[in-house]
Amino acid sequence: MGREFELPDVGEGVAEGELVSWLVAEGDSVREEQPIAEVETDKALVEVPSPVDGTVSKLCADEGEVVPVGDVIVVFAVDGDAREEADSQTEREPEPDEDGTDARAPDEAETPDGRVFAPPSVRRLARELGVDIDDVSAAVSSGRVTETDVRAYASEDGTAEERAAVTDTGTAGQTEAAQRVAATSASGSAERPAAAGRETTLATPATRRVAAAAGVDIDDVPASENRDGHGVVTTEDVREYADSQRTVRTTDCETPTADTGPAGVGEDRPETREPYRGVRRTIGEAMVDSKATAPHVTHHDEIDVTELVETRAELEAHVDDRDGALTYMPFVMKACVAALEEYPIVNASLDEESDEIVTKHYYDIGVATATDAGLMVPVVEGVDRKGLLELAAEVSDLAERARERTIDPAELQGSTFTISNVGGIGGEYATPIINQPEVAILALGEITKKPRVVTDENGEDAIESRHVLPVSLSFDHRLIDGADGARFVNEVTEYLETPTLLLVE
């Protein structure tokens, strides 16, 4: 049979991953710990290693497919498997009856190795309903678990006897929603299926997102079951309903035509569509959550960093090439930590469940980094305890691994304050979105030369060309008042205008 390998939990709390690419092919020999596939989760791109030495017998998932954690993705042939399988088969071979038939009753067939036979959609449904698939398998009489089995087992009204007696009913392979839609289509009616148009529908956030993407009203989708008068709709119900509506629209037309989208969109206006998922979707959901939760206020200012530019140039001449480049980011990080120590409310978070303000007395700074997959925020821990060169090397390493998608998901979590550098691409001011659960984020613009009035030791004013850094601080107005936000920026300004002060920090 071979050694089946299930998609492991490749990240904390990850429920599924997109199989981006196979690094092996059927028939290839592999070593234990050799990478066999690249899987993208909502946090990072990770390599999945082989658990054994052997040969790839079968690839069970296609590239681009979203696979739930726990589903078999590959089967290996391991030395000794064939012999063990033959010996096992011999041990299981039943003695025939006198008429030559198998003496074992059909319902006595056992599932090999205790494995539950259930397709991915059924396993996904079990997770949505909070049901243990093993418990369902133990309750059914057939060897394969179906959606009907899962829903009956999960029903609050179902008795133990009813759950134990569950078998496939209706058309094989169809869910209840599919059967209702099929019945509606067979009658030639394009009316909404029964139970549609509910005032209240129970559905998970993921199911509602699928409905919105498909342009489907969640209240119109036939529910798989009812609880206290409210329909419970699953992701599969939404997809089947959306498919049925497309089928109905096509059959109603005498001459079906290709869906070219809005009026005026044709061959001269091509479009490309790609799935909205993985890291890109996680970023989007985090941004929406932040804007919907925290009342954002952005304070803009300019900092004369002429002395900082000169100081960095002097220090860079003494930096060993092996230490990497000394950028401005370590200076800004140290200045921010000094300001956070002075204004601890900016290094806090709001625990809404307990109604408590949580002030952090450690300084883990997130550095927003642009990647091909979207914005990631690697975290540099203990910035207050590290020197400029150490910070420069760590920021460079984290940013590089974030762009290559090899960074550990744990290194993208736990920051207390975030810095975003929009100046790297020529930006000046921004209104950055807070990286929750933090309460503030500082955006850096491009350092440029601007004319400034400078007062000399004699009190005489003169116009000079100075290096100026634009900054933008977005903060959560629930915790930080405008005055405190401005004072925080003033504190950062003091350290960046006089960088020698950082030497005593």
* Model pLDDT for residues 175-231, shown as the tens digit of each residue: 444 444 344 434 433 343 444 556 667 776 667 767 777 788 888 888 776 544 556
CA atoms lying within 13 Å on the CB side of residue 127? 18
CB 233 within 8 A of CB 203: yes
Q: How far apart are CA 199 and CA 482, in angstroms?
A: 43
* Model pLDDT for residues 456-502, shown as the tens digit of each residue: 888 899 999 999 999 999 999 999 999 999 999 999 999 999 999 98
Q: Which CATH class is domain 176-252?
A: few secondary structures
CA atoms lying within 13 Å on the CB side of residue 293? 18
Q: How far apart are CA 332 and CA 106, in angstroms?
A: 73
> Can you read off the two tokens belonging to residue 429?
């001011």
* Model pLDDT for residues 346-397, shown as the tens digit of each residue: 999 999 889 999 999 999 999 999 888 788 899 999 999 999 999 999 999 9
**Bridge partner residues of 370 (DSSP):** 375
* Model pLDDT for residues 134-161, shown as the tens digit of each residue: 777 766 644 567 777 777 777 644 444 4
CATH dotted code for 3-93: 2.40.50.100
Domain with CATH 4.10.320.10 in the chain: 176-252
Domain with CATH 2.40.50.100 in the chain: 3-93
| Positive or negative torsion for Cα 188, 193, 194, 197 | negative
Q: Which amino acid is at 359?
A: T
* Model pLDDT for residues 50-68, shown as the tens digit of each residue: 999 999 999 999 888 888 8
Cα 258–260–266 angle (5° rounding)? 120
| Cβ-based neighbours of 301, under 8 Å, separated by 6 or more | 470, 471, 473, 486, 489, 493
Q: How far apart are CA 329 and CA 343, in angstroms?
A: 20
CB 7 within 8 A of CB 69: yes
Q: Calculate the CA dihedral of residues 417, 422, 427, 433 and round it to 10 degrees.
A: -50
**Model pLDDT, residue 175:** 41
**Model pLDDT, residue 505:** 65
Q: How far apart are CA 357 and CA 479, in angstroms?
A: 8
**Model pLDDT, residue 63:** 87
Domain with CATH 3.30.559.10 in the chain: 279-504
Q: Would you tell me how many other CB atoms lie within 10 Å of the CB of residue 127?
A: 18
Q: How do 230-232 and 201-202 pair as beta strands?
A: parallel
Q: Is the pTM of this model over 0.85?
A: no
DSSP 6: E
The larger pLDDT score, comparing residue 168 to residue 221, is at 221
DSSP 481: -
CB 236 within 8 A of CB 151: no
Average pLDDT over the chain reads 78
**Model pLDDT, residue 200:** 65
Decide if pLDDT at 283 tops 70.
yes
Q: Would you tell me how many other CB atoms lie within 10 Å of the CB of residue 281?
A: 14
**Quick check: helix, strand or coil at residue 5?**
strand
Decide if pLDDT at 449 tops 90.
yes
**Model pLDDT, residue 132:** 81
The catalytic residue among 296, 300, 467, 477 is 477
477 is catalytic: yes
Q: What is the 3-state secondary structure (H, E, C) of 140-205?
A: CCCCECCHHHHHHHHCCCCCHHHHHCCCCCCCCCCCHHHHHHHHHHHCCCCCCCCCCCCCCEECCH
CB 339 within 8 A of CB 492: yes
Q: How far apart are CA 24 and CA 7, in angstroms?
A: 15
Is the bond into 437 cis (omega within 30 degrees of 0)?
A: yes
Domain range 279-504, its CATH number among 3.30.559.10, 3.40.50.300, 2.30.30.230, 3.30.1330.60: 3.30.559.10
* Model pLDDT for residues 391-447, shown as the tens digit of each residue: 999 999 999 998 888 888 889 999 999 999 988 887 889 999 999 999 999 999 999
**Bridge partner residues of 55 (DSSP):** 29, 77
Q: What is the 3-state secondary structure (H, E, C) of 341-392?
A: HHCHHHHEEEECCCCEEEECCCCCEEEEEEECCEEECCEECCHHHCCHHHHH
